[in-house]
Homo-oligomer: A and B are copies of this chain.
Amino acid sequence: MPRASVRDQIVEAAFEQFHRHGYNACGVKLITDSAGVPKGSFYNHFESKEALALVVMDRYGETRHLDKLTDTSAPALVRLRSHFEALAQDIEDFGYERGCVYGNFSTEAADHIPAIREGVAAAFDQWAKAITAAIREAQADGSLTTRQDAGALGRFLINAWEGAIVGERAAKDGSSFAAFFTVAFETVLH
């Protein structure tokens, strides 16, 4: 396998460090130290920490199990549950630490850095759209009533998930994820 480029090393290290420490507590030096590259090499590849954060968001997007939503071998409601279960498993594997990169960046940086705000908003929109499409499919196959607006449900569910993460980072006991699965799948998607 070819050795990862310096740029790739920086992106992978930034993914890890941003996820672990958040945006503000993670400086360029922490990223380059963690990547094992000289700090000076950073600016050969990225204009700013902010520009790197946008690349990290794309990289994070690839890990978000969106494929589970579009795998038509299972019914739409089953896929929705698999999607959120996979997201939950990832966070449980980190002991309820780190949270979601989108949520972290939204909370920490969206008010102050327009490009990050726009990047997070676009990522949430894309995610909500994929959830909404699966909800529409469940409404079409009769497993979900059509009395609710699929778009509002999709937006509500991604936010409820982001909030369950906020709850778990404080409690770290599984209670917020459990409440999410109970209410989302026994009441909201019912």
Contacts and interface: CB of A to CB of B under 8 A. Distances in A.
A130 interface: no
Contact of A163 (B153, B162, B186): B162
B167 A180 contact: no
Given A179-B152, A179-B159, A111 B124 contact: no
Considering residues A103, A112, A171, A175, which has the most beta carbons from chain B within 10 angstroms of its beta carbon?
A171
Nearest to A171: B121
A143 B19 CA distance: 43
Contacts of A124: 167, 170-171
B170 A166 contact: no
Contacts of A78: none
Nearest to A111: B97
- Copies of this chain, complex-wide, total 2
A77 interface: no
Interface on chain A toward B: helix, strand, loop, or mixed SS? helix
B160 A156 contact: yes
Contacts of A83: none
A4 to B, nearest CB: 27
A108 B108 contact: yes
Nearest to A22: B108
A120 interface: yes
Contact of A176 (B111, B117, B155): B155
A123 to B, nearest CB: 8
Contacts of A187: 148, 153, 187-188
24 contacts: A22-B24, A22-B108, A102-B170, A103-B107, A104-B107, A106-B169, A107-B107, A107-B169, A110-B169, A110-B170, A117-B169, A124-B167, A124-B171, A152-B182, A153-B179, A153-B187, A155-B167, A156-B183, A159-B167, A160-B160, A162-B162, A163-B163, A163-B166, A166-B166
